[in-house]
Amino acid sequence: MQRFFLALTLLGTPALAAAQTDASALTRDWQRNRRNVLAYIEAMPDSALGFRPTPGVRTFAEQFDHIVTTNLEVAAAVRGVDRPPTLGDPDQYLHSKSALRAYAEATYAYMLGTLDAATPEELARTMSIYGAPPQPAAGFIQLSLEHSVWTLGQVVPYLRLNGATPPGYDIPF
């Protein structure tokens, strides 16, 4: 992936053709990530959405809000939108598993729509978000995916402490 971003920066137009191939790989990864996130939401009992394993950490629902809202904000930035669309009401989705699932679904649809609509030039466009150094938009999409996976791993104890078995992780190897 690092070589891909270097190629985008140094090679210009030929590298833009590679961005399209990478966009399809990113789309497959995001679709798989969506399935994993939704499976983890489904695995938790409804009554445990407000569970936090220790004081001062996010609740189960807040962890998923953190994952999918970050994805939504990155997708909006890639689209060049100043503010992401409102796709859910935290007063609802932080307390209702069906609302949390619907919000997660909507944010993944927005990210997948962003990937589907993005041109190679848009993926190569330099941008910055969250005070990070400027880099190609595709780099922030990849970082958001990595953040999602990393945060998803944090919820395994939440599930186990509530008697739920974490679902198997859908990974292609």
Could you tell me the pLDDT band of residue 172, with boundaries at 50, 70 and 90?
confident
CA 14 to CA 29: how far, in whole Å? 24
Q: Looking at the predicted structure, is the pLDDT value of residue 85 above 80? A: yes
Q: Looking at the predicted structure, is the pLDDT value of residue 126 above 90? A: yes
Terminal-residue alpha carbon distance, the chain: 18
> Which regions of 29-99 does DSSP assign to beta strands (E)?
none
The dihedrals phi and psi of 158, each to the nearest 5 degrees, come to -55, -45
CA 22 to CA 15: how far, in whole Å? 10
Ordered alpha helix ranges (H), the chain? 2-11, 13-43, 60-79, 90-93, 97-117, 120-124, 137-154, 156-160
Q: Looking at the predicted structure, is the pLDDT value of residue 21 above 80? A: no
**Residue 110: closest CA among 146, 151, 64, 141:** 141
Contact 158, 53 (CB under 8 A): yes
Structure confidence at residue 5 (pLDDT): 38
Q: Looking at the predicted structure, is the pLDDT value of residue 125 above 50? A: yes
The more confidently predicted of residues 41 and 6 is 41
